[in-house]
Amino acid sequence: MLGAGPRDLAISGGRFVDALSDPDVVIDARGLVALPGLVDLHTHLREPGREDAETVLTGSQSAARGGYTAVHAMANTAPVADTAGVVEQVWNLGREAGWTEVVPIGAVTTGQQGTQLAELGAMARSAAGVRIFSDDGLCVADPLLMRRALEYVKTFDGIIAQHSQEPRLTEGAQMNEGAVSAELGLPGWPAVAEEAIIARDILLAEHVGSRLHVCHLSTAGSVELVRWAKSRGVRVTAEVTPHHLMLTDELVRTYDPLYKVNPPLRTQADVDAVRAGLADGTIDVVGTDHAPHTSEHKCCEWTAAAMGMVGMETALAIVVEAMRDFDFDFADVARVMSTRPAEISGLPEQGRIETGRGANLVLVDPEAEVRIDPAEHATMGRNNPFTGFTVSTRIVDTFLYGHRVVAGSALADPHPIARGGTWIA
């Protein structure tokens, strides 16, 4: 169990309690690790409008199987989640599904067009209570618009989560710019295209005194920029994906579109740097950037293929594998995949195993041997770059507010909220 040796955990009324004298159900978790339910700050659930790739229901089921009890749904749907009505629709779909908390992220600009601010205040005041805003998939490239967004969300302690990609430096880019792109003859995406936006936004956030979150950081230079910003007291947080912790641009030599992603897979030096940044706390969280696509958008030639990978059901296991060479135990896994993301988003019932908090919990087998097979996953997306990998960690059970939504690694029953109940009885 997480903490100093084995101990019992008691749950009553959807919350952790000190003890139960006569429990209704007893679960034998000997040999398993108990972690707070995982929290993902970066997913693409595709609904509304792209239900052929994923729905809130299937994405929620995938999240539960991956140990997630809260996921944040990005705004690049169709229609874009840029109004109170759309974010409330996504929020309600999550509650109707009942497999995990679904927290909508609102768009920064109307239609993600990058020309005028979206209805940030209305989304913040909606039933969904949006606090994070992002045009992810696209960069808020206009510096004045980015400044205004940071100023606006500061009024309610919101966050702008930036997809750091200078568009003029990445026109037509197909992969990381470097030796491999030169050999393959594919247009490259230079590291500076990410780093230039991060540097600009750090300075804007410092000037305004607002909160900036750097999405899917991928280069060694980006790690150094965030480290510098934190040393200056800038209110910046950063995330890294499991695939950027593990995979490099050498895989593009296969021309397998499974490895086509935005930002692109980088070099081994970049992988080493982001691992070190996660270990020392420069990078705050792991976000999956779960991005399912239909087979016709992935099973095609490289240049025509969509960018993106799925990853919620394999994220924890991949993080464990990627961080083996560091002093990085399950307490650190909990910090970067649960506690810290819950703190950033402001989810008081998530992220900690403590008396009185919501009983959001995952039980993990740390000595399993699992071969990753996307055909067995709940997500509709089959574009998992770790297909065929053997990992040593398996999600056994997931509890959402005390309700066992995953049992023995299989989907069990959704939380009663899906039948009109409440998260906590």
What are the catalytic residues?
289
**94, two tokens:** 């999550």
Please tell me whether 207 is known to bind a ligand: no
> Cβ–Cβ contacts within 10 Å for residue 114, how many?
17
Please tell me whether 76 is known to bind a ligand: yes
Please tell me whether 163 is known to bind a ligand: yes
SS3 sequence of the chain:
CCCCCCCCCEEECCEEECCCCCCCCCCCCCCCEEEECEEEEEECCCCCCCCCCCCHHHHHHHHHHCCEEEEEECCCCCCCCCCHHHHHHHHHHHHHHCCCEEEECECCEHHHCCCCECCHHHHHHCCCCCCEECCCCCCCCCHHHHHHHHHHHHCCCCEEEECCCCHHHCCCCCEECCHHHHHHCCCEECHHHHHHHHHHHHHHHHHHCCEEEECCCCCHHHHHHHHHHHHCCCCEEEEECHHHHHCCHHHHHHCCHHHCCCCCCCCHHHHHHHHHHHHCCCCCEECCCECCCCHHHHCCCHHHCCCCECCCCCHHHHHHHHCCCCCCCHHHHHHHHHHHHHHHHCCCCCCCCCCCCECCEEEEECCCCEECCHHHCCCCCCCCCCCCCEECCEEEEEEECCEEEEECCEECCCCHHHHCCCCCC
> Cβ–Cβ contacts within 10 Å for residue 192, how many?
14
Total residue length of the chain: 425
Please tell me whether 136 is known to bind a ligand: yes
**134, two tokens:** 């992002």
Q: Half-sphere exposure of residue 11, counting CA atoms within 13 Å on the CB side? A: 19
Q: Which residues are annotated as a binding site?
A: 42, 44-46, 76, 136, 163, 216, 262, 289, 293
- Give the residue ranges of the annotated binding site for substrate: 44-46, 76, 262, 293
Binding site feature residues for Zn(2+): 42, 44, 136, 163, 216, 289
